[in-house]
């Protein structure tokens, strides 16, 4: 089933690039609302599987003291841990806040969104007036495939359209993951229940 689906996606993508066909954009038949199926949604999630992983996730021993289901972020290590039962955790590579934007504390997951829209906060627009005032969700959106909102703060754990920044301190305080990793974490955390502990 997946093989047939992948072949259909490839054929449609190839047809989209061949000008000899009578129709100029065969993918337009597959578009819904205001986004392209290859840019956002389940097809984009499927295609993202084949993108290279910056820092591969792995299972590691956990001795941090936090209970199963807790998310622990070590900004110094640039790693995020999802604590499992039995003294283990899933370790993910992350991008963290650059100098002057790092923070620590404990938050609760307050909301989750797939392919979220992005509206830069006023503080960010002051620093970067070149940024768009609003950007619809999709492959080019800096929030990537998923966003996990932390309490009432402006901080999020989110995907990224810049996987080369994973493992670096470059953000304005949000925690960046590859789209593949954030989709995995997104399915594990629970709104209103999952605690996120950020350590410096």
Output the pLDDT for position 177. 95
Q: What is the mean pLDDT of residues 9-34?
A: 45
Output the pLDDT for position 187. 97
Three-class SS string for 58-118?
EEEECCCCCCCCCEEEECCCCEEEEECCCCEEEEEECEEECCCCCCCEEEEEEEEEECCCE
Q: Are 118 and 141 in contact (CB under 8 A)?
A: yes
Domain edges within the chain: 2-48, 58-199
Question: Which residue in the list 4, 63, 134, 174 is annotated as catalytic?
Answer: 174
Q: Please say if 158 is a catalytic residue.
A: yes
Q: Are 146 and 161 in contact (CB under 8 A)?
A: no
Task: Identify the residue with better confidence: 141 or 133.
Answer: 141
Question: Which residue in the list 4, 63, 134, 158 is annotated as catalytic?
Answer: 158
Q: pLDDT digit string (tens) for 174-200?
A: 999 999 999 999 999 999 999 999 998
Q: CA–CA separation, 95 vs 90, rounded Å?
A: 16
pLDDT exceeds 70 at position 27: no
- Between strands 156-158 and 175-176, the pairing is parallel
What is the CATH topology of the domain spanning 58-199? Answer: L,D-transpeptidase catalytic domain-like (2.40.440)
Residue 19 — very low, low, confident or very high, per pLDDT cuts 50/70/90?
very low
The token duo for 194 is 């999952």
Q: Are 102 and 75 in contact (CB under 8 A)?
A: yes
Task: Identify the residue with better confidence: 47 or 156.
Answer: 156
Output the pLDDT for position 48. 58
Q: What is the mean pLDDT of residues 67-89?
A: 97
> What does DSSP assign to residue 145?
T
């Amino acid at each position: 089933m997946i093989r047939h689906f992948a072949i259909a996606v490839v054929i449609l993508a190839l047809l989209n690039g061949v000008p000899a066909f009578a129709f100029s954009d065969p993918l337009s038949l597959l578009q819904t609302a205001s986004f392209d199926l290859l840019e956002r949604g389940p097809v984009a999630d499927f295609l993202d599987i084949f993108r290279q992983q910056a820092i591969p996730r792995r299972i590691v021993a956990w001795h941090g003291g936090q209970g199963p289901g807790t998310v622990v972020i070590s900004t110094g290590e640039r790693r995020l841990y999802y604590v499992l039962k039995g003294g283990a955790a899933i370790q993910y590579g992350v991008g963290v806040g650059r100098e002057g934007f790092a923070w620590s504390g404990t938050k609760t997951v307050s909301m989750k969104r797939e392919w979220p829209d992005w509206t830069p906060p006023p503080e960010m627009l002051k620093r970067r007036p070149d940024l768009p005032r609003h950007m619809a969700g999709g492959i080019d959106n800096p929030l990537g495939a998923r966003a996990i909102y932390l309490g009432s703060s402006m901080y999020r754990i989110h995907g990224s359209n810049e996987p080369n920044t994973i493992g670096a301190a470059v953000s304005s305080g949000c925690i960046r993951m590859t789209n593949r990793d954030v989709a995995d974490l997104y399915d594990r955390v629970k709104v209103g229940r999952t605690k996120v502990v950020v350590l410096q």
